[in-house]
Amino acid sequence: MIHIDIWEGTDPKPEVDRFVEMWGLKGTILLDETGDYARTLGVRGVPTNVVVDADGTVRAFGVSRLDELDRAVDDMLKT
Amino acid sequence: MVNGNFAVGAACRIDVPAHSRRVATIPVGLDPEGVAADAARRRAYVACSRSDWVTVVDLEALEPIARVPVGKEPIDLVFDAPTGRIFTADAHSDTISVVDAETLTLVATIPVGGYPSGLGYDRESRRLYCGNSLGGTMSVIDLDSLETLATVEAEIGAGAIELDRERRIILCVNFIDASVTFVNADTNEPFGRIAVGTGACAVGVVPERGEAFVVNSVAGTVNRIDLDEVRVVEELRVGEAPVGLTVAPAHDRVYVSNRGAGTLSVLGVADGVEWTQIPVGDGPGGVTVDPVDGRLLVADAGSGTLTIVEDLLAGRPPAPALEDPSPLLGKRLPAFTLVDHTTGEQRSSHEWAEKRYIVNFFASW
């Protein structure tokens, strides 16, 4: 899991630290301070999840609900 | 899954032009959340939580005209027309700020519980209610004297509050506990608690039906609640990560802001079906209706804007519009090079080559 923080507006460091502690976030955490990368992908809201296959292909986009995300991951693992 | 007659699932529905009209997109500040309309002055007040101010928007000129500093991280906001006061729940100050709408100055600060994040308003009974998330309490405040009259036990994550004025019931929605606390509005005594979906964070009431609608952000659902039986009777689907709700003036629909989708769901009250989704700004949160012209005012936390849109639907459309799937599906993820929050190093997507992974875009608010 790669987490990418976007749209903070202020210094993201303390805000992300607080968020990570509160929600027990695990995995790599990257900062997209300008939001440019999110914009490139057409991200319109948070959370947005992007499921990526081993060859770099996007298999699912959006899927913010846990059941949707589980289903998208299951589908990817079947391929 | 089928909801009413509309199939729902992985495909997202989105509005077509005939369903809505974008009136304006107005920059207001960082992470706008709460929004209220002032009909007499033709203004919107927007709580910009990361800017620590309230932005005043002229609803005729469609432009911001003032910024009023308040407490730290104002999240929710209400406007009391009889006194001309604006109230903000300042989550990081543990206070409610009181602003005079005539002079646009801070006139009082009311201490409340830990992390106040939601406000409820009863104009007739002259009461303001504040959900204090950390302590799991609800403050009851006199709108005129600004005195705290009671502190009511709710549950951890207490936030959004709404009233059923006919039944004299206060509903306090508890985000962390995923529940609703029912409180007698005359005695301030809690008399019930029901479990709702995960991440409950907004509520609206349709009194003539004896129903409330509670938005569950993490579950991605809306619960329909029977207020006489004090129980959940239905679970409804809307867009991605719903966080805000307001009831339409005609009470035939509710509007739900979808933080994960950048849209507003139009949800039929009688049929429980999502009629359409109206595109707004990025990461929308607070939503209200301008009582003068019926336009929707939406605070877009992600894009730092207030979106004003018109809902053009006379009723449920023959079928919802289907959004084209993301153009990224089936294509290679665009490469990235971003800073690692922990190490400060540049990280590139090449590091994850030949691995399966999930990219999760998030914001700390």
* pLDDT, tens digit, 9 for 90 and up, residues B127-180: 999 999 999 999 999 999 999 999 999 999 999 999 999 999 999 999 999 999
Query: Using CA atoms, how far apart are residues A70 and B99, in angstroms rounded to an integer?
Result: 46
Identity of the residue in B10, B356, B364 whose CB atom sits nearest the CB atom of A52: B356
Which H or E run contains A18? helix A12-23
Contact A12 B219 (CB under 8 A): no
**What is the chain B residue with the closest CA to A68?**
B10
Fold held by B19-311: Methylamine Dehydrogenase; Chain H (2.130.10)
- Going by their DSSP bridges, the two strands B242-247 and B231-237 should be labelled as unpaired
pLDDT in tens, B174-192: 999 999 999 999 999 999 9
| CB contacts, 8 Å: B336 with chain A | 30, 32, 37
| Residue A44 predicted with pLDDT over 80 | yes
* pLDDT value, residue B3: 36
In the structure, what pLDDT confidence band is assigned to residue B321 with cuts at 50, 70 and 90? low
B304-331 average pLDDT score = 90
* pLDDT value, residue B14: 53
Q: Is A15 on the interface with B (CB under 8 A)?
A: yes
In the structure, what pLDDT confidence band is assigned to residue B1 with cuts at 50, 70 and 90? very low
Residue to substitute from B343, B359, B365, interface A, most A β-carbons within 10 A: B359
| Residue B11 predicted with pLDDT over 50 | no
Query: Using CA atoms, how far apart are residues B202 and B118, in angstroms rounded to an integer?
Result: 9
> Which is more confident, B18 or B180?
B180
| Residue B8 predicted with pLDDT over 50 | no
Alpha-carbon separation of residue B308 from A77, B25, B60, B240, B313 (angstroms): 42, 6, 12, 20, 16
| Residue B17 predicted with pLDDT over 60 | no
- Which of A35, A1, A29 is CA-nearest to residue A16? A29
What is the pTM (predicted TM-score) of this model? Answer: 0.94
| Residue B4 predicted with pLDDT over 60 | no
| Residue B286 predicted with pLDDT over 90 | yes
In the structure, what pLDDT confidence band is assigned to residue A22 with cuts at 50, 70 and 90? confident
Which residue(s) pair with A28 in the sheet?
A2
